[in-house]
Structure 1
């Protein structure tokens, strides 16, 4: 052997390569007796037929691929290795090939013989899961803590998701006492405690952010994503009924009411006595008929089919207008239309929340307009006073907090959906925890089977009056309807004129055909001759 040659340990690929070269050599030897013409075909056939026991076990090609019949299982313990057994297709795991015996225990990292993934489940003595809870002096429904017992929407979702794992583990709830101002919790401190290993998990109204995700693992969000605006319901004014429709639509609608009345009068006054009489009576009847169609109170009987056609089309348009007006007016009476970006009033947000930064960065709010509050009671007081009396015109917060408020104050307030610039609430686990992805799977299952919705209804028991704001009706939205009405009236007048001209021409033709013109000429010509 060359002393300069470096000896290296052979890997599995080298063993398989050695067996493949041996098989090729055997196939070549078997083709020496074959004819030269068929040598290539015979070599392939011989390779597929060869079967022998090599370094890696039995060597055999099936459909051009090597058949692996036996796998050796090795338990790696530090720098050492221990043979556990073999796996065969026929008998599965065995201690020896062709002999089914017991398999020795696997030694896992740390020198334990129990699968760490199932350790919590298989341990004889249930271990406690240390759960950190943000303790704040607020009476809400997201999280309620009495001594070491946690209740509310967040803990119930956590328990429902954890029960889906099938692990029977005792929970130890550890409240996080605020260090600074009473009632205020620094959630970043709670994240740090999970990162440092003080807690196995943290639950509560903890928002998912990119910065926090650098230090801990979050589950999928189990709440709605985004911000919402909380405001008091609008105070009605004497001119509230004018707001659902824009000024141009009011003017065009009034003109079409009058135009419809005039067209019906033109079509009816020659044959219908109800549209005849003095000039004042005809004008009064025309306007009464036109505007009474708004409430379908017209009593005049129409005799012309053309006028009936015009009125039917117009009544359909009135139905659409009235229905749209009613829906928009209802929305205006329910939700106060606050244009936050242009209004100079004050806006409230939750103390210590990252929502303040989101409002300034993403929604272009001024710092001077923002006021912090800590509880639903403070929210209600600030909205009641309004910005003119030291309060605020609206509260901008994450949707779960707004739903919690509406559950406590079900009347007098409404929620309007805003921007989806937050990621919702999630459960917090240490970085690399195997529980985070498994809990995310369980949260997805809870959302799919409706359990999450049932828990939300249980704790928030009120459907929020959420909306993106009713759209004021304008002319552009209904120009197609007015076009249809105009075309119907123009068509009716055109047909009426054709009928009128036809009637006049027919009358003159009848007069000529009856000889009346000849009688008149004979009567006039002698007189004319005598004058000449």
Structure 2
């Protein structure tokens, strides 16, 4: 048997052998998994393709220079699509998969190419990472193996729309190339602009293969339109042609606004000087890249490397796409190291009849793991935070630039949370928003001007502004005539003067011509028909006595109203004075009559009590005779009859109250008997409806619809053409073939009362409306300018002079307002006086009662004592007391007779 030492040596040798075996096996495995083949499909004929190639190669070198201990390394295979389009890019991808068995593909450049390549990669379960395909329609929801290491074009539309709103532009025209890249942004841009209150009256689509002459032809077409704000969404090649031609034909002047999407804005510093000169003054939005020392160092190295690789393109500068390509390679290298793949292979798919070469490609065995590892990568790259968890980068901050003198000048930033602001380190919450202009650094617009373009312009080579006019039922508002010789249209009236005055106040010249509604053969049509000619394109504007109504705003935009608003009634007036037998009762209301009589009786009772206490000789006889005498004292008291001081005080206060009431009564009665009081015969439209009265309206007016909505039967509504017809119908009355009231708009009523001053008045308004305004096409840029001009007119003396010219002096007629008759006096008007006399009478009564109780206090004590004596001494004392009282009474009677004056005896 082996000893213990021998066994220990054997065990040690076996352990060492096993350890070495495992080490060799692991080394062999790692040697097999030491490389991961990656393909890149680039267009080496394009500027972006060349820049991307330099960035990708430098990313490979930099990553493994930092991570030397990583066992798995990427092996790059680059294929040039040569700008051959979708088929060439797809062929390059198939070659990489079939011949080189790549486990990931970087690129291609264009969105349409990426669509084809991503389908191939998805079929083979090979991740496709594109840092230049920005079409929002290319979604990883349908192609899960497609990763967008860049921003979708949809991410920038809100920043563009916010810029449009900030400068107050109402309409914009997108200019984009007819490719998947160009068309993809349009639906998102439309939604964003609508949310911010702007619209697209036209879309300019330019073919990718369009020649310079074809681009120029499209630009000339844009010059014939009003809109002067353009959003350019193109690749740099097509965009360069566009701006050069725009510069040549005079579209880079102070009247135009050019906004660049990130397709050009991201590489603007790499464009040629001639292109930068052509786009001088343009604005642009692009992804903001935070500054860092690492970025500065890389930029310097990249510029040096690019000049070495492409000495003929020495003007090119590092772009965000190059940074995204750089970070995408780093993410792929990190994911490859995490997966630790062993012998990555492709499994052949099952054979399918009539399948293409794509269908015969194998399926990657490590593709799913590699995809998950890429999605989990999150780091701080040269472009900022790099995170593909949502299968595309998430935007944070956009930079707003201004192309000035061949450079991109930073003028501000935009974020979804804070909107537009000037500097990254400023306190955006402290912004007051009182300044209507956006918080940006000064902008140099095309033409080297600092004045913000208004965004639209009447083309000089366009026909005059066609202004629709029609004769009104009131010619003072508008009258249209046609010259029989020249066939020229002339228009006069209140509305014409306001329109022509507004034209003068516009900050620009607007040539115009009047077009009569008669020419359509429907001059007697409704005003709805007249306004509807604007959206039909018959007129560029419709002016006149057009009421701004809700249903009309659905197909036309209106200026601010230039007249008063509302619908009221015209009714006859009558003298409301009722000089009948009982008119003397009307100056006082019933409650005041009742209060006066009640206080009169109360005052008489108080005087009677006060005088009765001192035994006034006038207060003799029955109770009612005495009370009547006391009330008489209230009217005709003198010092001889009223003997008590307190009673005299009560009488003085009451006489003062009575004097005020009688004076007011006399004045009010005199007014009722002498002043003519004109009152409307009708005051409530609902009373007319209840009684079934006839009402009138002007022919072709919307008031008929209003009356029907109120409940009037059609048979009770009568139409009239001119003011004289209204006057005749009102004079006849509802029961004699006329009307009880004319329902009219306030501007017309003022004109009616100016002509028919006597006998009519206005009641209301009974219904609100917005007054008269001018109609323009929806979203017309001139509406705001016309509205501001109308405000200047209505706030100044101009509107007063126009009204005097066509309507007359509104203060000349005395019946234009309802004359309010003097009202009866009520109890509340004299409440203070009644309170004074009531307090005085009650106080006097209380004082008298207190004095009486005080004086009789001693006598009451004597009487109580005597009663006790009577109860103690029996009937004898009672008899003696009766005799004494009889004697006292006889003595008291004699004293009264002696003190009474001789004339009263």
1:306 equivalent to 2:650? Answer yes
Q: Is the 8 A contact 2:680 2:818 kept in 1?
A: no
Q: Do structure 1's residue 2 and structure 2's residue 349 form an aligned pair? A: no
Aligned residues of 1:234 and 1:333 also touching (Cα < 8 A)? yes
Residues 87, 94 of structure 1: 8 Å contact kept: no
Deviations 1:319-375 (A, max 9, x none): 8889999999989633334333233321111112111111121x2222222111111
SS for the counterpart of 1:439 is helix
Q: For residue 203 of structure 1, what is the aligned residue in structure 2? A: 543
Alpha carbons 1:154, 1:205 under 8 Å: kept: yes
Could you tell me how far apart the structure 1 residues matched to 2:802 and 2:582 are?
Answer: 42
**Secondary structure of 2:773's aligned partner:** coil
Q: TM-score, normalization: structure 2?
A: 0.41
Higher mean C-alpha displacement, 338-347 vs 398-407: 338-347
Which of residues 734, 739, 750 in structure 2 aligns to 1:403? 750
**Residue of structure 1 equivalent to 2:778:** 431
| Matched position secondary structure for 1:141 | coil
Confirm whether residue 339 of structure 1 aligns to residue 684 of structure 2: yes
The superposition leaves residues 262-296 of structure 1 with CA deviations (integer Å, 9 ceiling, x where unpaired) of 3444566778x9x9999899599579789xxxxxx
Structure 2 CA distance, aligned partners of 1:493 and 1:408?
61
* Residue in 1 that maps onto 2:502: 161
The aligned counterpart of 2:491 is 150
Which residue of the partner structure matches residue 415 of structure 1? 762
How far apart are residue 318 of structure 1 and its match? 7.5
Asked if 1:135 corresponds to 2:471, the answer is yes
Partner of 2:279: none
Match of 2:846 in 1: 498
* Cα distance in 1 for residues equivalent to 2:752 and 2:581: 30
Provide the residue aligned with 2:226 in structure 1. none
Matched, 1:191 2:509: no
Describe the shift of the 1:91–1:490 C-alpha distance in structure 2 as closer, same or farther (beyond 3 A). Answer: closer
Q: Secondary structure at the match of 1:397?
A: strand
Q: Distance in 1 between matches of 2:602 and 2:880?
A: 46
Please tell me whether residue 72 in structure 1 is matched to residue 411 in structure 2: no
Partner-residue secondary structure (3-state), 1:177: helix
1:165 shift after superposition: 0.7
Matching of residue 234 in structure 1 with residue 589 in structure 2? no
| Larger Rg, first or second structure (1 or 2) | 2
Show CA shifts across 1:367-417 (max 9, x none): 222111111010101001111210001001111111111111122110011
The alignment partner of 1:203 has SS state of strand
Output aligned runs, 1:321-360, within 5 Å.
333-341=678-686, 342-360=690-708
Paired with 1:213 and 1:189, the residues of 2 have a C-alpha distance of: 13
CA offsets, 1:417-452, max 9 Å, x none?
133343321101123322122111222333344644
- The alignment status of 1:388 with 2:732, answered yes or no, reads no
Contact 2:568–2:764 (CA<8 Å) still a contact in 1?
A: yes
Shift of 1:215: 2.4
CA distance in 2, matches of 1:200, 1:266: 86
Distance verdict in 2 for CA 1:207–1:503, change over 3 Å? same
Secondary structure, aligned partner of 1:232: strand
Kept after mapping to 2: 8 A contact 1:135/1:145:
yes
Distance 1:287 1:372, change over 3 A: farther
Q: How many residues align?
A: 452
Alpha carbons of structure 1 residues 69 and 471: separation in structure 2 relative to 1, 3 Å: same
Moved more, 345-354 or 500-509: 500-509
Q: Write the deviation string for residues 194-236 of structure 1: whole angstroms up to 9, x where unpaired.
A: 2333322221111222232222221122222221010010244
Q: Evaluate the alpha carbon distance shift between residue 353 and residue 255 of structure 1 in structure 2; reply closer, same or farther with a 3 A threshold.
A: same
Alignment of 1:253-332 (within 5 A): 253-266=592-605, 282=629, 304-310=648-654, 312=656
Q: Could you tell me how far apart the structure 2 residues matched to 1:458 and 1:266 are?
A: 70
Change in 2 beyond 3 A, CA 1:316/1:6:
farther
Partner of 1:251: 590
Mark the CA change 1:383 to 1:509 in structure 2 (over 3 Å): closer, same or farther. same
**Equivalences for 1:450-461 in 2 at 5 Å?**
451-453=798-800, 455-456=802-803, 458-460=805-807, 461=809
Work out the CA distance in 2 between the residues paired with 1:467 and 1:245: 28
CA contact (8 A) 1:85 1:94 kept: no
Higher relative contact order (CA 8 A, sep 6+): 1
2:145 counterpart residue number: none
Q: Is the 2:556–2:775 Cα contact (8 Å) retained in structure 1? A: yes
Alpha carbons of structure 1 residues 333 and 103: separation in structure 2 relative to 1, 3 Å: closer
> Do 1:267 and 1:304's aligned partners in 2 also have CA atoms closer than 8 Å?
no
Q: Distance in 2 between matches of 1:94 and 1:434?
A: 20
The one-character-per-residue Cα deviations of 1:20-71 (angstroms, maximum 9, x if unpaired) are 476445689xxxxxxxxxxxxxxxxxxxxxxxx9548xx9xxxxx9998973
Q: Distance in 1 between matches of 2:737 and 2:634?
A: 52
- C-alpha distance after superposition, 1:230-259 (max 9, x if no partner): 001024463589899999x73322222223
Spell out, residue by residue over 1:71-117, the C-alpha distance to the aligned partner (whole angstroms, 9 max, x if none).
Answer: 326xxxxxxxxx9876588997599xxxxxx869xxxxxxxxx9983
CA distance in 1, matches of 2:598, 2:397: 90
SS of aligned partner of 1:419 = strand
3-state SS in 2 of match to 1:167? coil
- Whole-angstrom CA distance in 2 between matches of 1:394 and 1:371: 10
Distance 1:88 1:94 in 2: 14
> How many angstroms does 1:156 deviate by?
1.9
Structure 2 counterparts to residues 373-384 of structure 1, below 5 A: 373-384=720-731
| TM-score between the two structures when normalised by the length of structure 1 | 0.65
- CA-based RMSD of the aligned residues comes to 5.5
Moved more, 250-259 or 425-434: 250-259
Separation (CA, whole Å) in 2 of partners of 1:339 and 1:222: 28
Q: Following the alignment from structure 1 to structure 2, what is the Cα–Cα distance between the partners of residues 23 and 383?
A: 89
Residue 372 of structure 1 aligns to a residue in which SS?
A: strand
In 2, the alpha carbon distance for the partners of 1:395 and 1:245 equals 36
Give the Cα separation in 1 of the matches to 2:593 and 2:442.
90
